[in-house]
Structure 1
């Protein structure tokens, strides 16, 4: 019997006793009636207590496991694919987690209608404060950062609840991930292309400003490459002189003209023979730069039809462009059938004056 039931029982007993006493006094009851009244007043509370004890008797122990469990208050909420901002505009993270909360015990002026809503809002604010400064490409790393930052119970703004999150996942949409992968691939390709372009520029500068600056530099370079073939270097002085003259778009110095060998015009077409000159009219004295270059190619053993003529012509033409000799470079390419593939961007810009308006 509870304390409230006991209080009511005593109150009713006392009230009934007073009523019966008044009735007995007014009715002039005999002594035995008074004794029955006292017994009744003492027996009624005992009887009520006994009846309440019978009702409070517990079930047998063997039936206890079959009792329904006491319902437990649910204090968690699942959220899935909530958009959170990143440091890049229009690239949002997708946040999923299990939000848990517990009351702080602080008295509330008004009842809390939806504690789950307060807890979810608090967790999302904490997550957003982190993701808004992070780049989208680091989603997997930021996921673990959020797991650590949101793993502690912290009060939400109203102070009535403490909230945390677990089982956190942070991803990007499939389309955004494909865009990021494409951007990363382009950046890598650009870096490789820039390295290749700088390498080619450095090589052209080395050949044009150092190796082929003049005949003496070309001879020194050749000897450094072939230090055990001095006699061969002497034999090729004419070829080296022609090569440096072609690279710098100048005529072969007079002091080196005797080293040049006249071109073989026996097998040439009549028109071509006229353009190359005759044995009585030396090439070095009247021929153009293209004529000198043709003699150089033939001296190297690169006859007409040899694909290496075009390759070498292209390389020399690139060097001439770096020296500002665009017209000579174009003349060599037209005459010696250079490969049809276009030059790289640097050569095209230099050969057209940089803006497509010509040299």
Structure 2
């Protein structure tokens, strides 16, 4: 019987004694009744205490020790910034999580273990098996993958604990993330450059092997470009013949020479003045034909399109191993810029 129960029993006994005393005075009980009342009031609490002690059994000597509450075992541990390998060498993930565990039933001969260390080892092994197969550039995606994989209680390899993890975070070192960002930018720039190079190469192949393969192909291409304007195409036939000859580093065929535009130096008034024999006239070169083509198209000196077209035609000619002709075109229509150095010493002298 507890202390509260004992106090309640004594209080009720005293209360009953008072009530019975009042009743005995009013009823004028005989002397023997009062003696019986005293015996009854003294025996009831004693009997109650004895019955309670019999039901409870004997109290052990170390009663206080047995009823002392055992300390609650802590079953979680926080790990922070643990380096885990990724698929790329020298790029490690930084892993943080709260590790939780619960013990499994072990036999009497089971060894004493450190549950926190065993649980952390198990979680890191499970996490490493995933991270070492993932690229470091996908840290946020791998973090969610780990959150799902580590969210289930699983036994460790010793079968002493069931282990899980929560509040998982996965990051990279700051300088590693900067390197990955730079590598991504380089890959993107390289992809753009590759597309541009392939586009230019395809364009040169299209012009050299299809459009400017011969004069007939150039005429068909020019006719399609000018919306079937036959008159304009016929008028530009000489220019197309010159452009085709320049692209293929050949002379204009004799059957098309009549369509070539006459240079200004062949005016009638000049022909009558002691002109040298035709046999001594210089044969027009590829650059001359290309100059006539540009003039016929209205691309005058100083027009940026002259250099652009010359560069494209030179690239086409180089693919046919005619580097001298290509260099001649570039030298004449796309010459390199001349750099004039500044004499610092002279300037300083003038400044003085």
Per the normalisation by structure 2, the TM-score is 0.70
Tell me the secondary structure at the aligned position of residue 213 of structure 1.
coil
Does 2:157 match 1:157?
A: yes
Deviation readout 1:277-315 (Å, 9 max, x if unpaired) = x89759997122122222222222233333332222112
> Partner of 2:230 in structure 1?
230
> Partner of 2:327 in structure 1?
330
- Indicate if the aligned counterparts of 1:302 and 1:308 stay in contact, CA closer than 8 A: yes
1:311-326 to structure 2, matched below 5 A, reads 311-326=308-323
Cα deviation, residue 330, structure 1: 0.4
> Partner of 1:126 in structure 2?
126
Does 2:82 match 1:82?
A: yes
> Partner of 1:27 in structure 2?
none
Cα deviation, residue 255, structure 1: 1.1
- Indicate if the aligned counterparts of 2:311 and 2:334 stay in contact, CA closer than 8 A: no
Does 2:175 match 1:175?
A: yes
Corresponding residue pairs, total: 273
> Partner of 1:288 in structure 2?
285
Cα deviation, residue 324, structure 1: 2.2
Quote the Cα distance in structure 2 between the aligned partners of 1:233 and 1:282: 33
Quote the Cα distance in structure 2 between the aligned partners of 1:173 and 1:134: 16
> Partner of 1:140 in structure 2?
140
> Partner of 1:258 in structure 2?
258
Cα deviation, residue 261, structure 1: 2.3
Q: 1:282 to 1:211 in 2, by over 3 A?
A: farther
Q: Answer with 150-159 or 163-172: which moved more.
A: 150-159
Q: Answer with 93-102 or 146-155: which moved more.
A: 146-155
- Indicate if the aligned counterparts of 1:87 and 1:134 stay in contact, CA closer than 8 A: yes
Tell me the secondary structure at the aligned position of residue 263 of structure 2.
coil
> Partner of 1:107 in structure 2?
107
> Partner of 1:304 in structure 2?
301
- Indicate if the aligned counterparts of 2:249 and 2:317 stay in contact, CA closer than 8 A: yes
> Partner of 1:215 in structure 2?
215
Cα deviation, residue 113, structure 1: 4.9
- Indicate if the aligned counterparts of 2:101 and 2:162 stay in contact, CA closer than 8 A: yes
Q: 1:191 to 1:235 in 2, by over 3 A?
A: same
- Indicate if the aligned counterparts of 1:245 and 1:251 stay in contact, CA closer than 8 A: yes
Tell me the secondary structure at the aligned position of residue 286 of structure 1.
coil
Quote the Cα distance in structure 1 between the aligned partners of 2:304 and 2:331: 15
Cα deviation, residue 196, structure 1: 1.4
Tell me the secondary structure at the aligned position of residue 167 of structure 2.
strand
Tell me the secondary structure at the aligned position of residue 84 of structure 1.
strand
Tell me the secondary structure at the aligned position of residue 168 of structure 2.
strand
Q: 1:96 to 1:170 in 2, by over 3 A?
A: same
Deviation readout 1:81-128 (Å, 9 max, x if unpaired) = 001111111111111000111111213536525221111111111111
Structure 1: which 5+ runs fail to align?
A: 2-45, 57-67, 267-277, 342-359
Deviation readout 1:113-165 (Å, 9 max, x if unpaired) = 52211111111111111211122122211111211211122222222222111
> Partner of 2:20 in structure 1?
none
Cα deviation, residue 217, structure 1: 0.8
Quote the Cα distance in structure 2 between the aligned partners of 1:236 and 1:117: 88
